[in-house]
Amino acid sequence: MHTVSEVFKAGWQLIKLYFMIGLPTETRDDVEGIVQLVNKISAVGRKIKRSNQITVSISTFAPKPHTPFQWVAQISPDEIREKQAFLMENLRRHGIRLKWHNPEMSILEGIFSAGIAV
């Protein structure tokens, strides 16, 4: 939070944060932790200047070949939508912009990266 404070004090008005959902060991607490962290960062920024902004980008994990997670299943489109909906609902406030990927496109990314013929 110190670094966030220093960045906003130095005149930056936007901080971009990047998160991934659907990792193999992810729990509900992990997704809730995204909300808590973003809210803390937003509060720090708004304390310095009310117009400070946070952009939060959410990607979905897609297993890639030749990595430790290559054989791990990707979460379903419904699970992706559920997690995205939770984040949208809980990060809907002034000064926070949430960006996410289409669930079906995330599934296709996983299929293409695995080289699976359909």
Provide CB contacts within 8 A for 36, sequence distance 6+. Answer: none
Q: How many domains does the chain have?
A: 1
Q: What is the pLDDT of residues 13-41, one digit of tens each?
A: 999 999 999 999 999 999 999 999 999 99
Task: Please check the confidence at residue 67 and state whether its pLDDT lies above 60.
Answer: yes
What pLDDT, on a 0 to 100 scale, did the predictor assign at position 78? 95
pTM of the model: 0.89
Domain residues for 33? Answer: 2-114
What pLDDT, on a 0 to 100 scale, did the predictor assign at position 112? 85
